Amino acid sequence: MAKVAEIKQENIICAALEIFSEKGLELASMEAISKKAEVSKRTLYKYYPTKESLFEVIVERLVSNVKVISSIPFFPDQDIADQLTHIAHKEVELLCSPSFMAVARVVMSECIRSKELATLMVDKFQPLDGCHGLSQWIQDGVKAGKLEVAHPEIASEQFIASLKATIFWPQIMAHMPAPGLEVQQATIESAVKQFIAAYEVN
C-alpha cells in the first residue's frame, strides 16, 4: 500500500499537470495547485518549493516514460521486420497513453514559451540515446551485417517521425483522440516497410 506522503505527492503532480494544462506555467498559482490537490500550501511547499520545481518533476516523468523503451537489444538471428514492428508497437503505445500526452502537451507548450525551460528539457533528455534507443538498435544491426545505414541517427528520426505524423501530432496540435487499433497497425506496417526497403541487407 502506498504511503500517505507518496499519495500526496502524486495528487500534487496530477493537480499541477491539470493546472499547467489549463493556464500554463506562468499564470498557474501554487494556491490553485494546493486546492486542486486538496493539500495545504504548507504541504505543497514542503515537497515542491516553486512552480518550476514541479515542472521539472513533470519533465522527469516524461523522461522516465521514454526510458521504458530507450534500451532495445538487437537480435541478429531474428527477423528484422518483426523486431522493428515490436519497437514500433512500444512507441505507439507510449504515444497513445493519455498520461504521456498530458505531460507532453504541457512540456511542449512551456518549452515554446521559455528558452530556459526548453534548455531544462533538453538537458533532461540528453542521457537518452536518440529516438528512444532506436539509433543504437540500428547501429547494432549495421555491426551484425543485417542493416546498411550510413546515418543511424537520421534513420531513427525518420522512422519515429513516420509514426508521429499519424499517431502523435494530430493529438498534440488538434486535440484529436488517439487513433484506433486499425490506424495504429496500418501506420506501423507502413513505417516498417519503408525502413526495411531502404536499409535491410538482402
In order of 18, 30, 44, 89, 93, the CA distances from 134 in angstroms are 31, 39, 38, 13, 15
User: pLDDT tens track of the chain, all 202 residues?
Assistant: 457 788 899 999 999 989 988 888 889 999 999 999 999 999 999 999 999 899 888 888 777 766 666 678 999 999 999 999 999 998 899 899 888 888 888 888 888 888 887 887 777 766 554 466 898 899 999 999 999 999 999 999 999 999 999 999 999 999 999 999 999 999 999 999 999 999 999 8
Instruction: Tell me the CATH number for domain 1-49.
Output: 1.10.10.60
CA distance 34 to 16: 9
CA distance 51 to 15: 12
The confidence score (pLDDT) of residue 63 equals: 75
Q: Tell me, what DSSP letter sits at residue 200? A: B
The confidence score (pLDDT) of residue 141 equals: 97
Domain range annotation of the chain = 1-49, 59-199
Per the document, the length of the chain is 202
CA distance 16 to 24: 10
- In the beta sheet, which residues pair with residue 101? none
CA distance 196 to 137: 14
C-alpha angle 144/131/9, rounded to 5°? 130
The three state secondary structure string of 16-73 is HHHHHHHHHHHHCCHHHHHHHHCCCHHHHHHHCCCHHHHHHHHHHHHHHHHHCCCCCC
Fold of 59-199: Tetracycline Repressor; domain 2 (1.10.357)
The confidence score (pLDDT) of residue 57 equals: 87
